Structure 1
Amino acid sequence: MDLSLVIPLFNEDESLKELYSWICRVGESEKLDFEIIFVNDGSTDKSLEVIHELAAKDKRVRLISFRRNHGKSAGLNVGFAAASGDVVITMDADLQDSPDEIPGLMKMIREEGFDLVSGWKKKRYDPISKTIPTKFYNWATRRISKIHLHDFNCGLKAYRNEVVKAVNVQGEMHRYIPVLAKNAGFTKIGEKVVQHQARKYGTTKFGLSRFINGPLDLLTLAFVSKFSKRPMHFFGLYGTLMMIFGFLAALFIGVEKLVALQMGEKARLVTENPFFYLALATMVIGVQLFLAGFLAELVIRNSNKPVEYTIEERINFES
């Protein structure tokens, strides 16, 4: 199969038929063998009914439906697992991503040899409350990942099939899939300027929580990218440094007391010395960090269970 389109959605019943027709028009004009994988993320409107209707008349339309809302990352994760096309393209279901970009994205994967191509919505039709945080996230992600993309969170991306099978998108890490791909060893990552459509139906499904979750996910990714396979190198290093500092502070207290005794002076109580509390605190924190690293190493070596999602039904997939 040439192409798998993975489209996670939540309450997008108004746009689905138009999106399906647009994709079919492009795919058939390019003579592509393609499938459309809709991942219904617990929609409460008529999205499920619309997809049932489309799937009944066209076997290229496939459905994975969650029993409840799991988030976009979960939708992409199960969609990636089900995709069978040589090229996998993701897009949002709200018509803000243009299917007319499909041929150009496929060309960059097939002919130019990219592992992943991310869309860049150079001209956006989003409110300033969304564009300013997006610019900050993109800047911070570029600095941390050393991947020079302008728009990490663009929903319109193309991948070689091997890439989507290698990445594990959990939590809300869909924003940083290029970083996950790089960590998996796929380093040929490109970018294509794509057309951004103004929202035609409904409203955005991402609320104010993205302003908190975005930076937290970025910090998590920065840590996991560097220390996920060797957490003891992080916790053990800083724990050891803290314990050494605490030991030196305690040593200073002891030396000070001995010097005072040798000179015949009345030595002050250990608890009257501020270094005592500094030594105590740093040694306790150092031990805790060291133990955290040790426990993290044990967890990594004994936990390989993947995240499971409760899928209610699948349509037009081979058993």
Structure 2
Amino acid sequence: MREKKLSIVIPLYNEEENVNELYNRLKEVLDALPYDYEIIFVDDGSTDRTVEKLEEIAKKDSKVKVVEFARNFGQTPAMMAGMDIASGDVIITMDGDLQNDPVDIPRLLEKIDEGYDVVSGWRKNRKDATVSRKIPSKIANWLIGKLTGVRIHDYGCSLKAYRSNVIKRIRLYGEMHRFIPAVVSTVTSPDKIIEIPVRHHPRKYGKSKYGISRTFKVIVDLFYVWFVKKYMQKPIHFFGGIGLFLLFVGLTFFLYLLSVKLLGNPIGGRPLLVISVMCIIAGLQMLTTGIISEILMRIYYESQQKKPYVIRRVLNGEEN
């Protein structure tokens, strides 16, 4: 494996009972690997003694970095902060509640060594409540795979490994951490994303921070991910397609009513006239929205000097 350094990113929120055991388990696994590493704990505004325990660990271990948020921002910002700070060639994310097992890390690295850009954990024997966690998760995973085209069994598993030069190309907002494989597929081939079964343990201490209400957030966020993946660089195709369809329907109805009017029949009180006018107006609005979206997309790329493509490598030349 050519990667020389690993970065382990762990968001935490009120996990004081789990911190020390998690650190000890990680050290046992990471010290046995032939790579340099760093452990990045991101405290997401904990109200218990999580930060105090992290400070104690950091004082005795220089490989541990602690990021403390000013308040609770959520798991996605915490994960993003850890990734921004990470200096490793491979970034591994995991939960801080001891449900993910550090002993699976070498198996993730084996797949990275095989050439994959993303290795996602699959909690095949998940130790969570069936009604509130497993069933909603299965529905969400099916929807995400169907709409994004990146079909994996367990989007919600935090235990994942990424090549740093791939994951650092994307930005995460809101609660997008659960969609990372789908978002990453916008900068790498889906063939470079693989899933492997990993261990999953019941929670020993503390309470889960998520409930069934998270499923509805997943569904809402999913439509955003689908749009970004499919139409980020060509929004006019989405809005323009709908606009042209509405214009076609509206003009067809209007021409039909015009022919009826020319034959001497009144059309002023017919609902079809209202429908045709609304379709024409809505169609023009969608086309206008598409044009504005295209302009904003170009501003987005050009203002940040981003390119609408990603080069994996260049043979006999220099990569831009």
TM-score of the superposed pair, with normalisation by structure 2: 0.89
State the Cα deviation string for residues 190-228 of structure 1 (Å, max 9, x = none): 111111011011111123431211111111111111111
1:234 maps onto 2:231 in alignment: no
Secondary structure of the structure 2 residue equivalent to 1:92: coil
Residues paired across the two proteins, number: 298
Task: Please tell me whether the aligned partners of residues 7 and 90 of structure 2 are also in contact (alpha carbons under 8 angstroms).
Answer: yes
Tell me the secondary structure at the aligned position of residue 225 of structure 1: helix
SS in structure 2 of the partner of residue 236 of structure 1 = helix
Percent of residue pairs identical: 40
SS at match of 1:183: coil
Structure 1 counterpart of 2:297: 300
The answer for the alignment partner of 2:309 in structure 1 is none
Question: Contact 2:133 / 2:211 at 8 angstroms: preserved in 1?
Answer: no
Q: 1:276 corresponds to which residue? A: 273
Which of 125, 128, 133 pairs up with 1:126?
128
| 1:197 corresponding residue in structure 2 | 201
Instruction: Tell me what 2:247 maps to.
Output: 243
Displacement of 1:29: 2.2
The offset of 1:288, in angstroms, is 2.0
**1:42-82 deviation per Cα after TM superposition (whole angstroms, max 9, x unaligned):** 11111111111111111111012221222111111121111
Unaligned runs of 5+ in 2: 305-320
User: Shift of the alpha carbon at 1:168?
Assistant: 1.5
The 1-side partners of 2:202 and 2:284 are apart by: 54
User: 1:118 touches 1:157 (CA, 8 Å); kept in 2?
Assistant: yes
Q: Could you tell me which residue of structure 2 aligns to residue 211 of structure 1?
A: 215
CA distance in 2 between partners of 1:241 and 1:105 (Å): 47
How far off its partner does 1:181 sit?
1.2
Given the alignment of the two structures, is residue 90 of structure 1 paired with residue 87 of structure 2, yes or no?
no
Say if 2:119 and 2:196, in contact at 8 Å, map to a contact too: yes
Which 5+ residue runs of structure 1 have no aligned equivalent? 261-266, 307-319
Q: Does 2:284 align with 1:287?
A: yes
| Contact 1:246 1:279 (8 Å CA) reproduced | yes
Instruction: Report the Cα distance in structure 2 between the residues aligned to 1:211 and 1:18, rounded to whole angstroms.
Output: 30
Paired amino acid for 2:126 = R
| Matched letter for residue 14 of structure 2 | N
User: Are 1:253 and 1:273, in contact at CA under 8 Å, matched by a contact in 2?
Assistant: no
Root-mean-square deviation over aligned CA pairs:
1.6
Tell which structure's C-alpha radius of gyration is larger.
1
Equivalent residues in 2 for 1:51-62 (5 A)?
Answer: 51-62=54-65
SS in 1 for 2:120: strand
